[in-house]
Amino acid sequence: MQTLLLWLFYLSSFYAFIPGILTRIFGFRVFRRGTGTNEFALTFDDGPDPLYTPRLLDLLKQYDMKATFFLVGSHAEKHPEVVKRIHHEGHLIGIHNYVHKSNWLMRPVTVRKQVKRTDDIIYTITGERSGYYRPPWGIVNLFDFAKNTGCRIILWSSMFNDWRSKIGADKLTQRMLAKLRGGEVMLLHDCGTTMGANPDAPEQMLIALERVLNAAEQKGMRSIRIDDMMAKESKAKARKLSPLKRVMVSLWLLWEKVFHAVFALETVSPSDPMLHFRKRPFAGKTVVMEDGSRLEKGDEVLELHFDNKKLFEIGSRSRSEVQLAIKMIRAVQNDLPSLANMVLERPEFKDVKGLYAVTMISRGPEQFGFHVMDLPRGLFASSTRLYLKLLLSVIHPKGQARLKEGSQMMEPKMLMMPVDVLIERYAEKKTQVQPPKEEPQQLQQEQMGDLAVASASQGM
């Protein structure tokens, strides 16, 4: 009997207590706090409540603040009009199980069903699914670590016992004001009908919250949704290089110098390098472009390579993908006219038939005059795909995260431009290059970010 009890203790510790310690103390595999100085996150559990939630929404609207509501599915099912209003007024909706029951007391399959049922209710009401989950009392089990729910687990950095009415509005206000700072994720409750809560407790919470929102407004602070806070956190981390990332970038840029020396690459604008190139015979199969131009095996081409140091610097300084895209457009525009003049003026380029590069993008370069074509399948395509994905993870400001987005775009493509098009569009003696009219709209943001790693270090 003693041995059985001991085994039950070990099992329960492994299933529940240890995961609880890892999440609540160390923040393992959960989001519980952001960064920044002027933004915090208000989160509300256990609703919606037909009396208190509409009053809360009125208060948030008055101060132009956004919040995140973790809904109990059975409550949402009874009050769809309140759920619809939460969604309509721009707040984020998360899941708080179908019934307010601890995950320690449920099997993994039961937790998963609770989350799915609640998500289905939210989808039926709002037309959108939720990818955010807060387990009741913040209690997780072992299988929640394995993404049993399929959602991102959200906890908190401060809570105030506001589910008890005896705390009173004054003491609650003091506690909240003490935690009013950037990056804070505040846990509050807009419903008092769950086990252990007082039915009238949200009344005290609303009084205290109005005072806190007024103080936040005076300090120039605002409450934002959890997904917005997470997005800002992700961008901040992307701009901060870890020691390992610094080493990777340094080694990669060293390799690029060696590659340039071995293959004698020339630089279009040495004072501000962006495009590098080399003349070489085209080694692929015959390519027929949309305008009827043909590129045969053995034809002379200029193989383009982008300057990865410059691209990394652009990515590191860019505050967004749009800004990165615009900087990329300007950098390419600056170099193509100089390259066109080189082709016109230098005798060794008189037999060049066109420009050639390998890229990860699927559209965008067309506005520069390039034709985008699939890379023929084979060993070269496979090795190029591997190389460019590795380069993308090192150079792109979003790093590995970019590899998990838009997988349909992550295929190497050939960029081709007939030399006549290069000269006609870009040579100063012919036609000056005109900036695209809709830079950010025409170039999809992630795709222009991928242009930063467009050319492979192998030839056809």
- Mind listing the pLDDT tens digit of every residue in the chain (460 residues)? 555 544 444 444 444 555 555 555 555 568 888 988 899 999 999 999 999 999 999 999 999 999 999 999 999 999 999 999 999 999 999 999 999 988 777 888 898 899 999 999 999 999 999 989 999 988 776 555 555 567 889 999 999 999 999 999 999 999 999 999 999 999 999 999 988 899 999 999 999 999 999 999 999 999 999 999 988 876 666 556 667 667 777 777 787 888 889 889 999 988 888 899 999 998 878 888 767 788 888 999 999 988 877 777 776 665 555 556 666 777 777 889 999 999 999 999 999 999 988 766 555 677 778 888 777 666 655 665 565 555 555 555 454 444 444 444 456 678 889 998 999 989 875 444 444 444 444 444 444 444 434 444 433 3
The token duo for 316 is 């590191």
CB atoms within 10 A of CB 209: 28
Q: Is 454 exposed, middle or buried (0-12, 13-18, 19+ CB in 10 A)?
A: buried
Active site residue 88: no
Alpha carbons within 13 A on the beta-carbon side of 407: 1
C-beta separation of 121 from 150 below 8 A: no
Q: Does residue 170 carry a catalytic annotation?
A: no
Inter-residue contact 118 to 69 (CB < 8 Å): no
Q: How far apart are CA 452 and CA 309, in angstroms?
A: 10
Count CB-CB contacts under 10 A for residue 225: 22
**Of 330, 334, 328, the residue nearest 361 (C-alpha):** 328
For residues 446 and 437, give the distance between their C-alpha atoms in angstroms, rounded to a whole number.
19
Q: Say if pTM beats, i.e. exceeds, 0.75.
A: no
Number of H helices, E strands in the chain: 17, 16
How do the domains of the chain map onto residue ranges? 9-236, 241-451
What tokens were used for 231? 């997005």
Catalytic residue among 45, 46, 227, 307: 45
Q: Output the six-digit token pair for 449.
A: 């970010």
**Could you tell me which of 43, 280, 234, 275 has the C-alpha nearest to residue 155?**
43
Q: Which of 75, 79, 96, 189 is catalytic?
A: 189
Distances (CA, A) of 79 to 49, 122, 266, 340: 8, 11, 68, 66
Place of tokens 């190497």: 412
Domain 9-236 coded CATH 3.40.50.300: no
Contacts of 11 (CB under 8 A, 6+ apart): none
Distance CA 365, CA 416 (A): 10
As beta bridge partners, residue 43 has 68, 187
